Amino acid sequence: MRQTLIVLLAISLIVLFIFGFPILKKWQRQRIKQRHFPPLWQAIIENNVPIYLALNPQERRRLQGHIQVFLAEKQFIGCQGLQVTLEMKVTIAAVACLLLLNERGTYFPKLQSILIYPNTYFVKEVTSNDGYVVEETQVARLGESWNRDQLVLSWEQVQRDTQNWEDGHNVILHEFAHQLDQEDGRAEGVPILLQKSDYQFWSKVMLREYQNLCLKVEKGMKTTLDYYGATNPAEFFAVATETFFEKPRQLRKKHPELYEQLQRYYQLDPVQWI
């Protein structure tokens, strides 16, 4: 009898945790979003993220709520002696949360910390040739997001990218797009889509666009999407995301189907902000 009661209690607690935790999390986030948005944060965003001024009042309020949740949940770590400032945190959060603007509501669930380097950083890359010759090289990086619970950014690059919004390059959008891509555990250029029926068309359009880009890169032709997108399908999605937010008009004109897929995925139409 006692054993049965213990088992029943354990099952009840597990059920309560499984179903109660998401509800509690949602409730907590709602409370965070209702907090007053600090004027200093607002000033930082207006100064560092010019696209913010193009959003309508509802979008701005929604973005503010996402930023509040993001900053409450993520940890920032300065590297190579860098002191993380409020300006860094708010700027990174504002751009990253643009990707969540229309209530994606997932807040990059696997990501725990954002590592910030003062400028370009170097990592050791080990390559082996037929398993016999092992080469170790120092490779310069501006950002990366291959470790799912950590994302790395160069502050110097963040500043450059946020101030030059319409050049199609943005390390924050790029690395956080990788986070979205990896939410299902795989980095293959297919994030979690709204409906099951969306996958087939997404794969068809993305593959065609990726192959077209690879072909143009091979021929050295001019492209709207950065050449780096031809590296692999995961990089293609990250580069397409940068272009979607920063050069929406060109992307819609030259690649209407790709634009449409991204518009459906992000539930946004950045052309309206330009």
> Which residues lie near Zn ion (CB under 5 A)?
235, 238
How far apart CA 140 and CA 171 sit, in angstroms, is 14
User: Would you say 63 or 171 has its CB closer to Zn ion?
Assistant: 171
Min dist. Cβ of residue 177 to Zn ion (A): 8
User: Would you say 44 or 92 has its CB closer to Zn ion?
Assistant: 92
Show the tokens assigned to 188.
């293959």
State residue 268 phi and psi, 5-degree precision.
-140, 155
Min dist. Cβ of residue 207 to Zn ion (A): 18
The H-or-E segment that residue 113 falls in is: strand 113-117
Position of minimal CB gap to Zn ion: 238
User: Would you say 161 or 235 has its CB closer to Zn ion?
Assistant: 235
User: Would you say 64 or 175 has its CB closer to Zn ion?
Assistant: 175
Our CA angle for 104, 144, 55, nearest 5°, is 40
Sheet with 75-78, strands from edge to edge, namely: 75-78, 113-117, 150-154, 143-144
Min dist. Cβ of residue 57 to Zn ion (A): 33
Show the tokens assigned to 33.
């979003």
User: Would you say 95 or 238 has its CB closer to Zn ion?
Assistant: 238
Min dist. Cβ of residue 8 to Zn ion (A): 49
Min dist. Cβ of residue 262 to Zn ion (A): 16
Task: Tell me which residue of 86, 98, 53, 67 sits closest to 266, measured CA to CA.
Answer: 98
